[in-house]
């Protein structure tokens, strides 16, 4: 049986897309820890801190948002857009699609932003995610975890087509369109229609929440490798972005996962530095916490200080061995929280609906996050580069 180390796979994929730019960023909710709305000054403070973090392995000048709607408004553009323009922060936009049969308010907010800010805004948009973990919420695992109301593949595809039609003659026409979900949602063949409809796949993965898989911090790198490799194998050669990952610095234990500053640093090194940073577009969870209901705290800095809780400088050697587990094996290893996504009550966006980005349609405007610019990078991928990536995926499929 062929055995290909994960780092070798990443190297091949990186070589195939050498013209692509890799982005470093964080997720950003639309509300503060007390559930009050964030405004331009709040987003600007986040983006400024992110770009000036002491010891960072690159400039974190990208942000992932979960919605285009300003908190507690119907369809006003989120003020993160103005903050991004003033700080030259790349935007990975998000359209909330869980539990709804339309995305009218999201499209209205984005249309207003395009008209108001023009190319100053659209030039910063590197991509857009139509939905976040909707497929996971509708899965057996999501239902077991009471993760909230998701959406079906056919609806997601319809929303993708609606977005493309709405912005066909605007500065967003060439922006790569994707969807964010958990690794085991991507390996589920019933969701293939979504993969076929998008330009890139976003993966949320938290080894900390992998119940029943020996989720001690020393095993976190291997658990991440297995999940990431499975997503790469399912992608059919399309780019895979890591849209959420991290390890909490404080809070209660989860199975064998223990939150601590030391463990958050270990995870930063063994997953971020070893696998992700400057190798694939990555949006870490998180610069600061925004959900008071989540007892696990993931922020890497306190009060937006540019001096983080731990040393962000990457080491030169790592403890995690190269991954050789097969994509097919990893896709069949899910457990109660096998998706590596946060379960009920741990939403990143200020709700208790379950996953990192969870909210109901009515609540979506209250809890968005910010997305980076997938656009220029993915547009640079030629047919030949996609073919090279497809070869990598084919190799994974027979591991």
Average pLDDT over residues 215-230: 98
The tens digit of pLDDT for each residue in 12-36 reads 444 333 335 799 999 999 999 999 9
Average pLDDT over residues 219-223: 98
Q: What is the pLDDT of residue 393?
A: 38
The tens digit of pLDDT for each residue in 237-291 reads 999 999 999 999 999 999 999 999 999 999 999 999 999 999 999 999 999 998 8
Q: What is the pLDDT of residue 130?
A: 97
**69 pLDDT above the threshold of 70:** yes
Least confident of 2-11, 23-32, 157-166, 355-364: 355-364
Domain ranges of the chain: 6-397
180: left (phi over 0), alpha (psi -120 to 50) or beta: beta
- Which residue in the block uniquely carries the two structure tokens 């062929």? 2
pLDDT band of residue 95 (cuts 50, 70, 90) is: very high
Identify the active-site residue in 106, 210, 244, 270: 244
Q: What is the pLDDT of residue 218?
A: 98
Break the chain down into helix, strand, coil percent, rounded to 5.
40, 15, 50
Residue 348 tokens read as 């990143």
Please answer whether residues 64 and 370 qualify as being in contact, where contact means their C-beta atoms are separated by less than 8 angstroms: yes
pLDDT band of residue 199 (cuts 50, 70, 90) is: very high
Average pLDDT over residues 45-64: 98
Alpha-helical (H) ranges within the chain are 6-16, 40-51, 80-87, 104-117, 119-122, 134-137, 140-144, 153-166, 183-186, 192-197, 220-234, 261-267, 327-331, 375-379, 383-397
Residue 189 tokens read as 């063949």
Q: Between 348 and 252, name the one with better pLDDT.
A: 252
Q: What is the pLDDT of residue 141?
A: 80
Identify the active-site residue in 133, 205, 210, 270: 133
CA distances for 386 relative to 17, 49, 90, 160, 369, angstroms: 8, 35, 24, 21, 29
Q: What is the pLDDT of residue 364?
A: 31
Q: How far apart are CA 224 and CA 88, in angstroms?
A: 31
82: annotated active-site residue? no
Residue 269 tokens read as 């090194």
pLDDT band of residue 399 (cuts 50, 70, 90) is: very low
148: left (phi over 0), alpha (psi -120 to 50) or beta: left
Q: What is the DSSP letter of 5?
A: -
Q: Between 82 and 151, name the one with better pLDDT.
A: 82
**347 pLDDT above the threshold of 80:** no
Average pLDDT over residues 305-329: 79
Please answer whether residues 93 and 131 qualify as being in contact, where contact means their C-beta atoms are separated by less than 8 angstroms: no
The helix/strand/coil state of 318 is coil
pLDDT band of residue 339 (cuts 50, 70, 90) is: low
Q: Between 378 and 110, name the one with better pLDDT.
A: 110
Please answer whether residues 369 and 78 qualify as being in contact, where contact means their C-beta atoms are separated by less than 8 angstroms: no
pLDDT band of residue 143 (cuts 50, 70, 90) is: confident
**308 pLDDT above the threshold of 90:** yes
pTM for this structure? 0.81
Q: What is the pLDDT of residue 276?
A: 98
Q: What is the pLDDT of residue 5?
A: 52
Instruction: Count how many Cα atoms sit within 13 Å of the Cα of residue 16 in the half-sphere of its side chain.
Output: 23
pLDDT band of residue 372 (cuts 50, 70, 90) is: very low
Q: Within 10 A of 208 (CB to CB), how many other CB atoms are there?
A: 30
**195 pLDDT above the threshold of 90:** yes
> Which residues on neighbouring strands pair with residue 327, listed in sequence order?
none
Average pLDDT, the chain: 82
Q: What is the pLDDT of residue 359?
A: 32
Instruction: Render 255-306 in DSSP notation, one character per residue.
Output: TTB---HHHHHHHIIIIIIIIITTTS-EEES-SS---TT--SB--SSSTT-S
Q: What is the pLDDT of residue 340?
A: 75
Write the burial class of residue 74 (CB in 10 Å: 0-12 exposed, 13-18 middle, 19+ buried).
Answer: exposed
**128 pLDDT above the threshold of 50:** yes
- Which residue in the block uniquely carries the two structure tokens 């040393």? 311
- Which residue in the block uniquely carries the two structure tokens 């499209």? 107
Task: Return the CATH number of 6-397, one of 3.20.20.80, 3.40.30.10, 3.40.50.300, 3.30.70.1070.
Answer: 3.20.20.80
Q: What is the DSSP letter of 190?
A: G
Average pLDDT over residues 165-193: 96
pLDDT band of residue 144 (cuts 50, 70, 90) is: confident
Instruction: Render 227-244 in DSSP notation, one character per residue.
Output: HHHHHHHHTTT--EEEEE
**88 pLDDT above the threshold of 90:** yes
Q: How far apart are CA 159 and CA 130, in angstroms?
A: 7
Quick one: which of 312, 317, 292 has its CA closest to 300? 312
């Amino acid at each position: 049986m062929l055995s290909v180390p994960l780092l070798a796979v990443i190297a091949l994929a990186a070589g195939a897309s050498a013209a692509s730019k890799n982005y470093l960023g964080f997720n950003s909710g639309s509300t503060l820890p007390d559930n009050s709305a964030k405004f331009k000054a709040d987003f600007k403070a986040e983006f400024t801190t992110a770009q000036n973090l002491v010891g960072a392995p690159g400039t974190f000048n990208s942000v992932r948002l979960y919605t285009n709607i300003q908190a507690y408004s119907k369809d006003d553009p989120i003020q993160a857009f103005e903050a991004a323009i003033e700080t030259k922060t790349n935007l990975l936009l998000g359209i909330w699609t869980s539990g709804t049969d339309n995305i009218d308010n999201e499209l209205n907010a984005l249309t207003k932003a395009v008209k108001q800010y023009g190319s100053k805004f659209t030039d910063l948009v590197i991509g857009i995610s139509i939905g976040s973990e909707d497929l996971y919420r509708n899965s057996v695992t999501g239902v077991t975890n009471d993760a909230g109301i998701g959406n079906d593949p056919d609806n997601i595809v319809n929303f993708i087509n609606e977005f493309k039609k709405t912005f066909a003659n605007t500065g967003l026409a060439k922006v790569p369109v994707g969807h964010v979900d958990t690794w085991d949602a991507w390996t589920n063949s019933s969701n293939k229609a979504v993969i076929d409809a998008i330009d890139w796949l976003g993966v949320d993965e938290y080894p900390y929440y992998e119940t029943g898989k020996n989720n001690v911090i020393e095993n976190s790198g291997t658990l991440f490798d297995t999940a990431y490799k499975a997503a790469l194998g399912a992608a059919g050669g399309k780019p895979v972005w890591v849209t959420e990952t991290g390890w909490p610095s404080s809070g209660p234990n989860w199975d064998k996962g223990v939150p601590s500053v030391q463990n958050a640093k270990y995870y930063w090194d063994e997953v971020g530095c070893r696998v992700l940073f400057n190798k694939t577009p990555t949006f870490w969870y998180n610069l600061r916490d925004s959900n008071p209901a989540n007892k696990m705290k993931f922020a890497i800095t306190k009060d937006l200080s540019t001096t983080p809780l731990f040393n962000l400088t990457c080491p030169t050697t790592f403890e995690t061995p190269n991954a050789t587990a097969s994509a097919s094996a990893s896709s069949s290893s899910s457990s109660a929280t096998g998706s590596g996504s946060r379960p009920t009550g741990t939403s990143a966006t200020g709700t208790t609906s379950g996953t990192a980005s969870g909210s109901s349609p009515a609540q979506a405007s209250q809890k968005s996050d910010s997305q980076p610019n997938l656009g220029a990078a993915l547009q640079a991928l030629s047919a030949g580069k996609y073919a090279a990536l497809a070869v990598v995926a084919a190799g994974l499929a027979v591991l």
